[in-house]
Structure 1
Amino acid sequence: MEQRRRPPGRPDRPGRRDEGARLVTPGLDGRLALVTGAGRGIGAAVVTALVEEGARVVATDLDPAGVETLAARHDGRVTARPLDVTDATAVETLVAGTEETLGPLDIAVNVAGILRDGPVAGLSDEDWAAHFAVNTTGVFHVSRAASRRMAGRGRGSIVTVASNAGGVPRAGFAAYAASKAAAVMFTRCLGLEVARQGVRCNAVSPGSTMTDMQRALWTAGEEEASAQRVVEGDPATYRTGIPLGRIADPSDIADAVVFLASDHAQHITMHNLYVDGGATLRA
């Protein structure tokens, strides 16, 4: 099985039992998870992390190519499905079909998201609406479908991957930041509603992470310099740097998602975990 690459200086995590090539987090072995936006970047890393911890995963994406590649890598533990999270009927059909064919969902992870940067004055109505359709309404569709079923069984975990931009203003990111802030508050409110039914709802808010979305913000041909500017910060745009001195790897975010989905976090709900190397100074 393919092993995730760990950035230099990151030790293996303690407290898990070794089962051959797989380290298993208590509470995930045999669980069934649904991950949206799983075709690449953070979503793909979340799928890999969950599989390594013993879960079975339904990996979904608007573009099926990436999730089909993931499924081929993971020897029957990943089921690939195309999904447009903005389509409520499609989401409900997929969740219902998953439970009929694979069993009850234990975990749902909302990763699907878009980013179109630019100042508010130049932001189109279409771009504004698209951010909320995917980043917020998509989270609502998936979380609603999953939580209905989880609450009836008295157990389950929902994790929404948001952004540290949802908590700290960023120039040129108004639509993205607003949609992510809304997704976090929705997830926390849902967590309050279903807490007595044993369902936990949490968010993970990454900072700059080495994904295609991050690279798309950089100047072509100046990737190394662009990355360095992210680490150092930019006073002209009121952006702090990253105190830990590096851009996150997708596996850093996946680790946080796995923790919140697992029984290690069984008394944590309505929490928003920042994974940004200290970039926002948790302001």
Structure 2
Amino acid sequence: MEFQDKVVLITGAAQGIGAAVAQAMARQGARLALFDVQPQVLAQQADALAGSGAQVLGIVVDVADSAAVDAAVAQVERELGAIDILVNAAGILRLGSALDCSDADWDKTFSVNVGGVFRLCRAVASSMVPRRRGVIVTVASNASAVPRQQMAAYAASKAASAHFTRCLGLELAVHGIRCNVVSPGSTDTAMQRQLWTSDEHRQAVINGSLAQFRLGIPLSRIADAADIADAVIFLASERARHITMHELCVDGGATLGA
């Protein structure tokens, strides 16, 4: 199995893309550290994976809290071993126009979506450097490259997290550590469903909207979380050993390669 006995830390692991990555890694024999801020959902996910035979450590962590992140990363290295792979999948979405966005919503979005990536990367990569090995994959968004209405804070935060990861990749390349980005488009997760109230809304995303200056999805489907997990798995694997500072967009062509 490709990730047999590798220690993989995944943030936002309780549901959505993070959960899909955890499930895929478990099937490949990884030892899993699951971070999330939702205790009940995280416990359910950890129990399900442990029941399938995976070695799992679930820790309730707010990625916006530096002390909590540092303590949790130290716990993982004590209990599971040296972290081989970090997947930054934690994120939040606060909808609203740019002019109506409150300071609190802006600050919270950046504290989780950018600050969380920074804090986890700093804590994990500091131990990867002396070992001269490791992989970091950050889940961003195709909204980081193409403007979206009602999503200014989210899109800006995802652009920042993606570029931070590329900058980190440049600094860490000399130590043999790879840093890449996966940028999903519309994906069937709890976050995405905030934007839908019916099947008609789902189809509208596929069709696109001239009024919102939004292109449709050429492949005519909404992604499953597993589609995004497959891209993360590839970039974390030895098959991608000569890829770093790359952003892989997984959106069915929705941004036309922008």
Deviation at 1:281, TM superposition (A): 0.3
The one-letter amino acid paired with 1:123 is C
Tell me the residue number matched to 1:272: 247
Tell me the residue number matched to 2:176: 198
Once residues 223 and 89 of structure 2 are traced to their aligned partners in structure 1, the CA distance between those partners, rounded to angstroms, is 16
Deviation at 1:127, TM superposition (A): 0.7
Determine which of 151, 166, 171 is the counterpart of 2:129: 151
Deviation at 1:68, TM superposition (A): 1.2
1:18-167 equivalence runs, <5 A: 24-25=1-2, 28-75=3-50, 76-167=54-145
Tell me the residue number matched to 1:238: 213
Once residues 187 and 157 of structure 1 are traced to their aligned partners in structure 2, the CA distance between those partners, rounded to angstroms, is 11
Q: What is the percentage of aligned positions where both structures have the same residue?
A: 54
The one-letter amino acid paired with 2:234 is F
Deviation at 1:44, TM superposition (A): 0.6
Deviation at 1:97, TM superposition (A): 1.4
CA contact (8 A) 2:57 2:76 kept: no
SS in structure 2 of the partner of residue 120 of structure 1: coil
Deviation at 1:228, TM superposition (A): 0.2
Structure 1 alignment gaps of length 5 or more:
1-23
CA contact (8 A) 1:64 1:80 kept: no
* TM-score normalized by the length of structure 2: 0.97
Deviation at 1:217, TM superposition (A): 1.1
RMSD: 0.9
CA contact (8 A) 1:165 1:177 kept: yes
Cα deviation code 1:13-52 (max 9, x no counterpart): xxxxxxxxxxx33xx1110000001111111101001111
SS in structure 2 of the partner of residue 58 of structure 1: strand
Once residues 252 and 69 of structure 2 are traced to their aligned partners in structure 1, the CA distance between those partners, rounded to angstroms, is 34
1:217-256 equivalence runs, <5 A: 217-219=195-197, 223-256=198-231
SS in structure 2 of the partner of residue 159 of structure 1: strand
Q: Which structure 1 residue ranges, 4+ long, deviate > 3 Å from structure 2?
A: none
Deviation at 1:60, TM superposition (A): 1.0
SS in structure 1 of the partner of residue 58 of structure 2: strand
The one-letter amino acid paired with 1:66 is V
The one-letter amino acid paired with 1:65 is Q
SS in structure 2 of the partner of residue 74 of structure 1: helix
Deviation at 1:129, TM superposition (A): 0.7
The one-letter amino acid paired with 1:182 is A
SS in structure 2 of the partner of residue 237 of structure 1: coil
Tell me the residue number matched to 1:17: none
Q: Which moved more, 1:71-80 or 1:260-269?
A: 71-80
Once residues 226 and 184 of structure 2 are traced to their aligned partners in structure 1, the CA distance between those partners, rounded to angstroms, is 11
Deviation at 1:252, TM superposition (A): 0.3
SS in structure 2 of the partner of residue 160 of structure 1: strand
1:169-184 equivalence runs, <5 A: 169-184=147-162
Structure 2 alignment gaps of length 5 or more:
none
Once residues 94 and 63 of structure 2 are traced to their aligned partners in structure 1, the CA distance between those partners, rounded to angstroms, is 18
Deviation at 1:77, TM superposition (A): 1.9
CA contact (8 A) 1:71 1:77 kept: no
CA contact (8 A) 1:38 1:66 kept: no
Aligned residue pairs total 255
SS in structure 1 of the partner of residue 211 of structure 2: helix
